[in-house]
Amino acid sequence: MVGERFGSKLVKFYIPLILYLVFLLFPFYWMVVSSFKPLEELLMDPANLGLDIRRIDFRAYYEVLFEHGFIRYISNSVYVSIITVLFSVTLATVGGYAATRLRFRGRAFMSYSILVIYMFPAIVLVIPLYVVFSHMGLRDSIHVLMLVYLAQTLPVALYMLRSYFQNLPVEIEYAGMTDGCSRLGVIWRIVIPLSAPALASVALYTFMIAWNEFLFAFMFLDTPEKFTLSRGVVQLAGSVHLSKQLVMAASVMVTIPILVVFLLFERHLVRGLTAGAMKG
């Protein structure tokens, strides 16, 4: 009986899941394995998917980091991503709160325009922005890049936080105000602690966009010292002496931090922080 049920579950659920995962993870596996092999081995036996644990070779990482300037690119990317996250979360919190709870002229217009801005595809904006920033002499700068990332992530961040704030019971805020909080005090002491899951999602989303973004980085940045990681990988892949294992090692370095950040934040993405506030 039990075996039978397990058997049908195996067929219906686990086998498709495993196939899906293999399909999804294979490129990553290949990327990691290739990054650990010396170039000769890749060239002599490209079909070999296995990896000899005893012959793991970190030379590609060393070369990418220290000879191809990736230390610099990583620190640029970390800087850009973290600052973008900080600004995006802060602005989206106060902006989303204002759009939810405060009444002001143009409130409805603001809510709509948030979404409209998001609907512009990046490729439409990149050319005019390229021209504008070139004329202003500001183009080749990671701070301008951050501004663009902020403009790209803020609409969604605002939208996410606004819908979360709308579901927070307003009575809790009223209680805070009668208990002696100012409006900012209510945001700081009540709204933010209760919105931790939403703030974590917004931070994660913004970080991923800023970390992975390629198009604007590619168009805007000319000076190698200012390159972000994704821009650096392309630089590497396009260089004359294309070394596959180096590109693979660089790609691993782009991917791993995202995974780490995701796993760190994932624990906070739980819902139901307001449990117990109301009559229930």
Binding residues for another protein, per CB under 8 A? Answer: 169, 171-172, 174-182, 185, 190, 193-194, 273-280
Kindly tell me which of 58 and 174 has the beta carbon lying closer to another protein: 174
Q: How far is the CB of 103 from another protein (least distance, A)?
A: 10
Burial (CB count within 10 angstroms: exposed 0-12, middle 13-18, buried 19+), residue 272: exposed
Tell me how far, at minimum, the Cβ of 170 lies from another protein, in Å: 9
- CA–centroid distance for 204 within its chain: 5
Q: What's the first-to-final CA gap in the chain, in angstroms?
A: 41
* Cα 232 to the center of its chain, rounded Å: 18
Min separation Cβ 160 and another protein, Å: 20
Q: How far is the CB of 271 from another protein (least distance, A)?
A: 13
User: Least distance to another protein from the beta carbon of 188, Å?
Assistant: 12
Characterize 22-42 residue by residue with b for buried, 16 or more Cβ atoms within 10 angstroms of its Cβ, and e for exposed: eeeeeeeeebbbbbbbeeebb
Q: Hey, what amino acid is at 209?
A: I
Closer to another protein by Cβ: residue 121 or 276: 276
- Give ∠ CA 149-25-13 in degrees, rounded to 5: 115
Residue 21: CB atoms within 10 A of its CB come to 10
